[in-house]
Amino acid sequence: MLRRAAIALLLAGICLAQDNVTRMEQVVRSYVDAKQFMGSVLVARDGKVLFTKGYGSANLEWDIPNSPSTKFRLGSVTKQFTAACILLLEERGKLKVEDPVKKYMPDAPAAWDKVTIFNLLTHTSGIPSFTGFPDYHSTEAIAATPEQLVARFRDKPLEFQPGEKWNYSNSGYVLLGYLIEKISQQSYRQFMQENIFDHLGMKDSGYDSNSEIILHRASGYTPGPNGVANAGYIDMTIPLSAGALYSTTEDLLRWEQGLMGGKLLSSASLEKMTTPFKNDYAFGLGVHKSNGHKLIDHGGGIEGFNTLLAYYPEDKLTVVVLANLNGQAPDAIAGKLAAVAHGENVVLPSERKEIPVPPAILEKYAGTYELMPNFDIVMTLEGGQLMTQATGQSKFPLFAESETKFFLKVVDAEVEFFKNDKGDVTHLILHQGGQEMKGMKK
């Protein structure tokens, strides 16, 4: 009797696993069919791969399919590797993250006197991001040395005093690469290769190049007015330690296992790296909650590529989504794949059903909701249609799936409204890309 029960439980577990894989395939396929995604995905729990597959083409002109071994530019997923290099140097007594930048760069401008390595790691230095400068797009195709890159922003005024605020800065991470080279007496590329990739057996990862022949490297594409187009050119010396690495889904699993498994950093260093300072940001990693689960992740975007690497430490779940087509799909896919792995119900955009809601109810949702300082969502009722507009963005219609839950069709996002005991609308929650953002009604 016990044996039969055990067999029944085993079969039920196998069926559940198969159902999960089927649903994961449906999740990714929905974005592929909508022509919003091509790339590779991987889901693993405690090192065991649950789902891995490539979609679309690594090269559209030659019709070469993507696979788990296809190499993709990572964009800003690179930042966590740079942060780990800094912590390795600290463990070897070469620096302290609390040190001022000026200690290793005596010619630093006076404005940087109070800027520390910690500030660079956490985007709290106040140094403006050079990728936002007016001349960035006219200079990104021109090769530059680390010194020349730093020269682009070293004399710009700080946006705020170090440590006071948070603002994402590619300049800060380029400066970290520059410091790694000065302190280690190696190029950023050499230090990364010897101390990270070789150490963890990541044979399909490296610093990307515009001239080298790199086997199984995907070409990058971007949506255009006439369909998919080849992405614009960026010289790979420009993103440097802020976004110049390439890798595969399989190698990123090795990275996650090595980093989180204590094969690279001491427990104290890993604790530093994953402790958020401001805006849920730690060292090259975001640390927050997603649907009740602790999540450590980072995305990336660079010409022709968008990426997302996510780790859920409570159940050692890794989700990797690498795309060679620019767009928001990787964030949404990663969030939904994680939800499926957690046994949660996932509704795809194509499965949402629109229902009518009386204008009297919709009218209560009109108003302004603050998601973060200087970033609001404004809800208006226009001709019986609830409309939404975020700061600096276009206005879009919202469609009801219940009296309190609404969805957008232009992007994969949902908005849920909440009321107090008196029936007054108090706030909303924006669900997008596996993240939840609360907006209080003003």
The pLDDT tens digits of the residues spanning 189-198 come to 999 999 999 9
The DSSP secondary structure of 56-111, one letter per residue, reads: SEEETTTTEEP-TT-BEE-GGGHHHHHHHHHHHHHHTTS--TTSBGGGT-TT--GG
Q: Is 1 helix (H, G, I), strand (E, B) or coil?
A: coil
User: Residue with structure tokens 């109070």?
Assistant: 114
Give me the mean pLDDT over the 27-56 stretch: 97
How many structural domains compose the chain? Answer: 2
The dihedral through the CA atoms of 8, 14, 17, 18 has a sign that is negative
| 73-110 per-position pLDDT tens digit | 999 999 999 999 999 999 999 999 999 999 999 999 99
Q: According to the model, what pLDDT value does residue 437 have?
A: 87
Tell me the whole-structure pTM to 2 decimals: 0.87
Q: Are residues 235 and 381 in the same domain?
A: no
Q: Are residues 333 and 395 in the same domain?
A: no
Is 180 a domain residue?
yes
Q: Is 53 helix (H, G, I), strand (E, B) or coil?
A: strand
Q: How confident is the model at residue 17 (pLDDT cuts 50, 70, 90)?
A: low
Q: Which domain holds residue 368?
A: 352-441
| CATH code, domain with 269 | 3.40.710.10
| 255-304 per-position pLDDT tens digit | 999 999 999 999 999 999 999 999 999 999 999 998 889 999 999 999 99
Q: Are residues 332 and 360 in the same domain?
A: no
What is the CB-side half-sphere exposure of residue 147 using CA atoms within 13 A? 3
d(CA 242, CA 431): 28
Q: Are residues 301 and 407 in the same domain?
A: no
Is 263 a domain residue?
yes
Q: Are residues 92 and 186 in the same domain?
A: yes
Q: Are residues 362 and 336 in the same domain?
A: no
Among candidate residues 311, 341, 371, the one where a domain is terminated? 341
Q: Are residues 308 and 382 in the same domain?
A: no
Is 47 a domain residue?
no
Is the predicted pLDDT of residue 385 greater than 50, yes or no?
A: yes
Q: Are residues 362 and 383 in the same domain?
A: yes
Spatial strand order of the sheet with 399-400 comes to 395-397, 385-390, 375-382, 367-372, 435-441, 425-432, 413-419, 405-407, 399-400
Please give the backbone phi and psi of residue 197, each rounded to the nearest 5 degrees, phi first: -65, -50
Is 220 a domain residue?
yes
Q: Tokens for 205?
A: 């990862």
Q: Are residues 337 and 357 in the same domain?
A: no
| 198-230 per-position pLDDT tens digit | 999 999 999 999 999 999 999 999 999 999 999
Is 54 a domain residue?
no
Residues in CB range of 273: below 8 A, 6 or more apart? 80, 83, 84, 87, 265, 282, 283, 284, 285
Q: Are residues 402 and 275 in the same domain?
A: no
| CATH code, domain with 415 | 2.40.128.50
Is 100 a domain residue?
yes
Q: Are residues 129 and 161 in the same domain?
A: yes
Q: Are residues 109 and 140 in the same domain?
A: yes
d(CA 103, CA 75): 29
